[in-house]
Structure 1
């Protein structure tokens, strides 16, 4: 991390501490409101209306805390159970869903300790940089107010210009320490919130099952679409040529005695048709599983892919000898789609691909120096990569600020097929 990133993250954390104090203070009236709503739950109709409404407010506050924690580098998943079908606010099913969800009570239990932690850590995040900043500003204040002015800072005593100048290096050091420590304080606050706001083990399993259900459906749809593509390509390509080939050979058989020259001409056409049909089949097979991937593995296949691009593309790899065939295929097509997006939309002059195996996952990074501004919601390419990786429990993250660079990071969980890692690098 360079100095600019360090200062940016520190100042962002200081601002986060400033925001954390009023947000944490908001927990206390929400807790009081929840206790009052629980007391009023003894009134049948009023309780079924009021407590779910207060719970929704608490969940909104908890979701905001989860979002802030995610920006601090501590992601917290939403643990709530999905609402049952035909459950409407004010109804018994809706009320039962709120009351029986363990996350409702975990949110409620978080409000008071979350308020205490947020206020204390937020104040500490602000206090140290503010104290250092005051020491740094004493010299400008002295110069601005004139040498006849004497005073005291909050804790910085000074009565002479020498005292004021002594505060400058001390204040700068304390300010730097405060800015450096601020992100760690924010992450500590986020981790403490995750103890109650994060999903329990059962909730994680439930979310996992739900995610697998979605990815399985996406995989089935993708496989069905691929089968339809193969069927269409066979029907419109190779099948038509093979039917034509059979007809041509049949005509040649009929003409071989009466018109040998015409028969030879038809056989020449048949040979050309068979060559075209073979090319169609090779193209079809290449779309299913590229021969270069089977022959050279993922490293060689990606290098061959990079060499065919219209822009210089550097490739760096640190991979086992070979990975499982399904993993290699998914990784190859994911990298191919990312590079296709680079050449079509980024207007980049250079690109780079990095492949490495961490022992438990294959990590792929595709970078370019183009215009940036890539958005998964803006097209099907990045969404297709996500669906392809999700079938293997993989993930994709995107960094593409306006003006670039664009960095697509993809991970595929996979075990190493060989303990020997052979790093290599080069420019394709």
Structure 2
């Protein structure tokens, strides 16, 4: 593992990596639990809708003999498909995208389609277990807040007010009131320790049942690979245009200048040696600039630092050059293919550039893990958030680079921050 402390922060460097680790773990746990709570609350909304769809489906089934249920069936199916699509989009904000199956062309086909049955099974699971987990996601923070601060409000509460959020017992002395705050601390521990798992459990039904099932047509995968291939070709063409533009507008002009200056110096060498020497100096300067531009272009194709120092060393160099103090934490025991490392390098470089230009952040962190044939990157900052892929922030280019390797990029950037980029790349050799 390679760890680079933030640049420009002498206090952190003096504290050493051992002092930074507990703080890093605490911050990561707080962020994970906060994201999990938001995910649970969002799941509560779709769980309530799933319950409504189930009630509507039950009414349609009961009233079918009277003929009313047949009219409701189309409403149930359309509502179920719309809700399932909404859940896919919600889950895609918190993890890998879920590929939706092809919708049935007619109502009769939808009633017998395996996709509809899988979505009904999801509605049953999400409307029951997902609903309960969502309620816990709402209740736990309220209980923690109420019990932790109970000693502050206890002197002003009525005598028969229950002490804890469980709704039983009444504190009559200060020790009893203070002991309630320990229950609140316990709720905080539950939130930090269990809510990420609760969020994963709530999302499991959607990820298992709302994607294309094992009996789905392989055309879905073909379409996905076709889109990935198109993204790779677009990224390749964009890169070629960038290189051609750099060579044409920069290096080629420098070389033309060198040629013109050398020709003029040769013509002046006999009649005005001093003027010829000045032209030769200008030609040498132009040649050096052209060489520097050629080196910059070659490094943009495949940075030599990746071959010399590996991904960990290359990312440490990027962090050291970043205008915002940046820490890197890389665990990659084995080398990945060169194209994968180059993609990871350019994604981190673009992300750090965006952080320095647009985020207003005071600190950034890059975490890399290579496990199970996958390379996971996380770039996060404590800036203002609100990153918009349509706003020309470079996220589209990063997504294309990642998609070219059949990887995924997920951006979480609520207003007020923090901004987190999660990238997952296959790195099996």
Coarse TM-score class (shorter-chain normalised): 0.5 to 0.7
Instruction: Map Cα deviations across residues 79-138 of structure 1 (whole Å, 9 max, x no partner).
Output: 33068xxxxxxxxx65577467531343356666766767888899999999xxxxxx9x
Mark the runs of 5 or more structure 1 residues left unpaired by the alignment: 42-46, 84-92, 131-136, 148-153, 417-428
Q: What CA distance in whole angstroms lies between the structure 2 residues aligned with 1:280 and 1:8?
A: 46
* Match of residue 374 from structure 2: 361
Instruction: Map Cα deviations across residues 69-88 of structure 1 (whole Å, 9 max, x no partner).
Output: 779x89883533068xxxxx
- Find 1:55's aligned residue among 77, 81, 97: 77
Q: Structure 1 pair 127/364, CA: closer, same or farther in 2 (3 Å)?
A: closer
- Find 1:233's aligned residue among 240, 246, 249: 246
* Match of residue 421 from structure 1: none
* Match of residue 411 from structure 2: 398
Q: Structure 1 pair 228/82, CA: closer, same or farther in 2 (3 Å)?
A: farther
Q: CA deviation at 1:282?
A: 1.6
* Match of residue 276 from structure 1: 289
Secondary structure of the residue that 2:332 maps to in structure 1? strand
Whether contact under 8 Å (1:395, 1:410) holds in the other structure is yes
* Match of residue 300 from structure 1: 313
Q: Structure 1 pair 144/269, CA: closer, same or farther in 2 (3 Å)?
A: closer
Whether contact under 8 Å (2:47, 2:126) holds in the other structure is no
Instruction: Map Cα deviations across residues 163-196 of structure 1 (whole Å, 9 max, x no partner).
Output: xx9xx98xx69x959x778887776565456554
Instruction: Map Cα deviations across residues 269-309 of structure 1 (whole Å, 9 max, x no partner).
Output: 43333223222212222222223333222222222222222
Q: What CA distance in whole angstroms lies between the structure 1 residues aligned with 2:220 and 2:134?
A: 32
Q: What CA distance in whole angstroms lies between the structure 1 residues aligned with 2:294 and 2:33?
A: 57
Q: CA deviation at 1:236?
A: 1.9
Q: What CA distance in whole angstroms lies between the structure 2 residues aligned with 1:129 and 1:235?
A: 59
Q: What CA distance in whole angstroms lies between the structure 1 residues aligned with 2:400 and 2:56?
A: 40
Whether contact under 8 Å (1:307, 1:313) holds in the other structure is yes
Q: Structure 1 pair 264/217, CA: closer, same or farther in 2 (3 Å)?
A: same
Q: Structure 1 pair 76/201, CA: closer, same or farther in 2 (3 Å)?
A: farther
Q: CA deviation at 1:414?
A: 0.8
* Match of residue 259 from structure 1: 271
Q: What CA distance in whole angstroms lies between the structure 2 residues aligned with 1:75 and 1:52?
A: 31
- Find 2:354's aligned residue among 309, 332, 341: 341
Whether contact under 8 Å (1:230, 1:284) holds in the other structure is yes
Whether contact under 8 Å (1:367, 1:407) holds in the other structure is yes
Q: CA deviation at 1:339?
A: 0.7
Secondary structure of the residue that 1:363 maps to in structure 2? strand
Q: Structure 1 pair 249/36, CA: closer, same or farther in 2 (3 Å)?
A: farther
Whether contact under 8 Å (1:252, 1:262) holds in the other structure is no
Whether contact under 8 Å (2:265, 2:276) holds in the other structure is yes
Whether 1:242 aligns to 2:268 is: no
Q: What CA distance in whole angstroms lies between the structure 1 residues aligned with 2:141 and 2:367?
A: 39
Q: What CA distance in whole angstroms lies between the structure 2 residues aligned with 1:155 and 1:279?
A: 73
Cα root mean square deviation, aligned: 5.4
Whether contact under 8 Å (1:373, 1:404) holds in the other structure is yes
Q: CA deviation at 1:326?
A: 0.7
Whether 1:106 aligns to 2:121 is: no
Q: What CA distance in whole angstroms lies between the structure 2 residues aligned with 1:4 and 1:321?
A: 31
TM-score normalised by the chain length of structure 1: 0.67
Q: Structure 1 pair 269/314, CA: closer, same or farther in 2 (3 Å)?
A: same
- How many residues in Structure 1 have an aligned counterpart in Structure 2? 391
* Match of residue 227 from structure 2: 214
Q: Structure 1 pair 269/182, CA: closer, same or farther in 2 (3 Å)?
A: closer
Q: CA deviation at 1:394?
A: 2.4
Q: CA deviation at 1:22?
A: 5.3
Whether 1:79 aligns to 2:103 is: no
Whether contact under 8 Å (1:33, 1:54) holds in the other structure is no
Higher relative contact order (CA 8 A, sep 6+): 2
Q: Structure 1 pair 298/344, CA: closer, same or farther in 2 (3 Å)?
A: same
Whether contact under 8 Å (1:16, 1:186) holds in the other structure is no
